[in-house]
Amino acid sequence: MCGIAAILSPDGPVPAQALRRATTALRHRGPDGEGTWIAPSGRAGLGHTLLAITDPEGQQPIASEDGRLHIIHNGQFYDYRRIRASLEARGHRFRTRSDSEIALHLYEDLGPECLERLRGQFAFVIWDEESGVLFAARDRFGLKPLFHAEKEGRLYLASEAKALVAAGIAPSWDSRGVYHALHACPDERLSLFHGISQVPPGHFLQADGSGVRLKRYWDLPLTPGRSRAARFRRAQHPAPTPDAAIERVRELTEESVALRMVAAVPVGCLLSGGLDSSAVLGVAASCTDEAVAAFTVGFERLDYDESTGAREAAAAAGGNHTVVTASDGDLADHFVDAVFHAETLQYNTHGAARYLLSRGVRDAGYKSVLAGEGADEAFFGYEFLRAAAGAARGSGAGALPRVLARLPRIAAALLRSPSRHQPGLAAASPWLARLALLLPAAPSLFTRLARGLGHIRAVCSRDFLDDFAGYDLYRAYYRRCRRTADLSRREPARRLLYLWLHSLFANYHLAADRLDMAHGVEVRLPFLDHHLFEYTNRLPVSLLAHHPREKHLLREAMRPYIPDPVYDRVKRPFMGPSAVGTDGPLHDFLQDTLRGEAVRAVPFLDHPAVARLLDRLPALPAEDRPSLDSLMLMLASVAVLQERYRL
C-alpha cells in the first residue's frame, strides 16, 4: 500500500513542483520512502510514497527491462509469486522483489488485458514513453482510490483528492456530488470537489494527446436468467447442494485469507467479535505458527461497545488482543482529522473510531491487517437484501396464487399519493416514493430514508434545491445502472446488491481506506476477493438468503474456525456512539462547529435553518434521533471540509 501521483502533459513539460507537492501530500500513505520521476520527453511525471510490505526496498517507479514503461502502484497483488514465476519463465527480468512489478510485465505482454490476470486491491499508473500513452486502472470493487482532474491541457491523477489540490487543482464544492452524498446516493464517478473525478471501480483510463478515455474491464457477472436457454444451462449444470456450497466457500475463504497473509512484515486482524472478522481471524491463525495480533475499537459507552465479544473470539484463535478504547472526547477531538482524511461526509462517529483504531494498529508496530468487510455483500447479510430476496420468492413457478393475493395491495398502493404518504421521499424522488408504496420490504427501509431526507432538505438552501428541481437522482441512478449493467436481467435482490455496491459501498464504506492510510496502515479484505465473490454470486439466492439466520452459508463454512458464542451471535452493525441526545464532548463539538463561521460560508446550506435545528435538539423526539444524528454529523463534515480545504 502506498500513495501515487501522476501528471500527463502532452504539449509541454510536466510541472515538477506540482508533482512534488502532490507526492508530499501523500506522505502519510507511504512513510517508508518518497520520490518523483519525470520522463525524458518531459510529457509525464510519476510520484510515489512507499509503505514497505512485501519489499523493504520497493521504491517506485519501476522500469521495464528496456526502460520504455514505468509503473507506480498502490495496493497489493495476491498470488504474485506464481505469476512472477510464469513471467520469469517467459524471459522477463525483475528489478525488485515487489508484487507491483508483475503488473508492469503483464502489461508489456497483454496491454489492458493484463487486468484479467491480476487478483487484489490496487490502483496503478503505467507510462509508455514510446507510444505516449498513460494507462491507469482501479481494482474491481474500488478498494483502492484513484482520483483524476484536468487543468490547462494536463491530466492529474492521485490516490487522494487532497494531492490534486496540492498540485494546483483549485478546490470548490461540486454541487452534483454534494447533492448525491446528502441524499445517501453518492456517485462512484464523482467526488465532493468540483473538477475532481474518480476512476470508477473495475475501470481503466487511457490518456494521450488526443484525450482521456475510461473503459470498464470488469463487472459483477450476470447469473443465469429465466429464459428457456437459461433453464437448459441450469439443468446441464445444476446448483451445488448446500453441503457442497459450504465446502467450496470454506475452501475459497481459506485460500483468500492465506494469500493475504503473505508479507515481509507481520499481518494482524481488525476484530469486532462478529462472525465476519472472527472468521477471518480464525482462518488467519491457522496459516501461521505465531499468535496473530487482533485489534478492536472499544467505546466507553457500553451500549456501543463490542470488546467483550471480541475478546472471546481472540482467545479462541489464540490471538494477541488489543482494545483501543475511544471516549466521546476522543471521537470529538479526532472527528475533524477523520473527515479531512476520508474526504467525504461522515454519517456516524464510526469514521472517527476507525481513524483511532488504525492509529492504535500503527502504534503497536503493525502496517498490515486483515478485516471482515465484504461478507455482508457476498453472503446477503443485510436485512434489505434478505427482504428483497424474500419478496422475490413468490415470483417463480407456482406463484400465481401469491401474486393474485397481492393484487389488492398493489392496486391500493397505486391509488395512494406518494407526496402525502412519503413526503420527504417524494420531494427528492417521486419515482422512489411510488416504489416505496409498492414494495413489500418498503416500510422500515423507506420510512427511515424518508425521515432523513426530510431533515436534510429542510437545512439546504432554496437556491441549491431549485438547481436540482425535476432531477430525480434515484431514478437517474437506477436507469444508468440498468443501461450499463443490464439490471433487468438480474434477480431483484441482486439488482439491489448491485446498486449498493456502486453507491454507498464504493463511496462511503470503502473510504475507510483513507482513514487507515492516514496512519500508514493497509487493510486487506479477504471476502472481497473476486474469485470468492464471483462464486457466491453464481449461487442461487435461496442458498444465501432464505435461511432464518443471516449468513447461514458463511456461518456453517466457518464453523471450524469460530467459537460457539460467535457462531450463535446475531449480526450487529458497527456504529459509533450517537452525538445527538446526550450532553458531553460530542454534543459540544456539534454546537461549536455548526454555529461557527465555516457553516455560514457553505453555499448550499440554509444557515438559519441549521441554527433552529440546533436549538431544537434538547427536545428532540426519540424516534427522530437516529436520522438527525446522521444529519448533524454530515453537516459537521461539511463544515470541516469547508474550512480545511478552503472551499
Over residues 174-198, the mean pLDDT reads 96
Starting at the edge strand found earlier in the chain, the sheet holding 2-8 runs 33-38, 44-50, 2-8, 154-158, 147-151, 197-198
* pLDDT (tens digit per residue) in 398-407: 444 443 444 3
**pLDDT the model gives residue 352:** 97
**pLDDT the model gives residue 404:** 41
Is 60 exceeded by the pLDDT of residue 416? no
Percent of the chain at pLDDT > 70 equals 91
Cell of 150: 484536468
**pLDDT the model gives residue 388:** 84
**pLDDT the model gives residue 455:** 87
Strand partners, 324: 297
Give dist(CA 407, CA 153) in Å, integer.
58
**In contact, 558 and 250? CB cutoff 8 Å:** yes
Assigned superfamily of 2-216: Aminohydrolase, N-terminal nucleophile (Ntn) domain (3.60.20.10)
**pLDDT the model gives residue 412:** 44
**pLDDT the model gives residue 263:** 95
**pLDDT the model gives residue 228:** 54
Is 60 exceeded by the pLDDT of residue 501? yes
Give dist(CA 219, CA 296) in Å, integer.
33
Domain covering 241-379+505-568, topology: Rossmann fold (3.40.50)
Residue in 323, 363, 330 with CA at minimum distance from that of residue 349: 330
Confidence bin at 626 (pLDDT 50/70/90) = confident
Question: Domain limits of the chain?
Answer: 2-216, 241-379+505-568, 578-647
**Which three-class secondary structure state does DSSP give residue 35?**
strand
Give the up-direction half-sphere exposure of residue 252: CA atoms within 13 A in the CB hemisphere.
20
**In contact, 275 and 527? CB cutoff 8 Å:** no
Work out the mean pLDDT of the chain and round it to a whole number: 91
Give dist(CA 604, CA 197) in Å, integer.
20
Tell me which of 327 and 232 has the higher pLDDT: 327
Q: How far does Cα 494 stand from its chain's mean position?
A: 18
**pLDDT the model gives residue 229:** 52
**pLDDT the model gives residue 581:** 77
Cell of 156: 492529474
How large is the angle between the packed helices 585-594 and 625-644, nearest 10 degrees? 60
Give the up-direction half-sphere exposure of residue 182: CA atoms within 13 A in the CB hemisphere.
26
Q: How far does Cα 263 stand from its chain's mean position?
A: 23
Give dist(CA 172, CA 154) in Å, integer.
19
Give dist(CA 352, CA 326) in Å, integer.
9
Over residues 613-642, the mean pLDDT reads 87
**pLDDT the model gives residue 223:** 80
Give dist(CA 553, CA 387) in Å, integer.
17
Is 70 exceeded by the pLDDT of residue 426? yes
Cell of 592: 461549536
Strand partners, 173: 193
- How big is the CA angle at 413 (ends 408 and 417), to the nearest 5 degrees? 150
Over residues 247-256, the mean pLDDT reads 98
Residue in 127, 119, 116, 83 with CA at minimum distance from that of residue 102: 83
- Given this chain, do its domains 2-216 and 241-379+505-568 carry the same CATH topology? no
**pLDDT the model gives residue 466:** 96
Give dist(CA 52, CA 1) in Å, integer.
8
* pLDDT (tens digit per residue) in 118-164: 999 999 999 999 999 999 999 999 999 999 999 999 999 999 999 99
Residue in 524, 481, 266 with CA at minimum distance from that of residue 371: 524
* pLDDT (tens digit per residue) in 59-84: 999 999 999 999 999 999 999 999 99
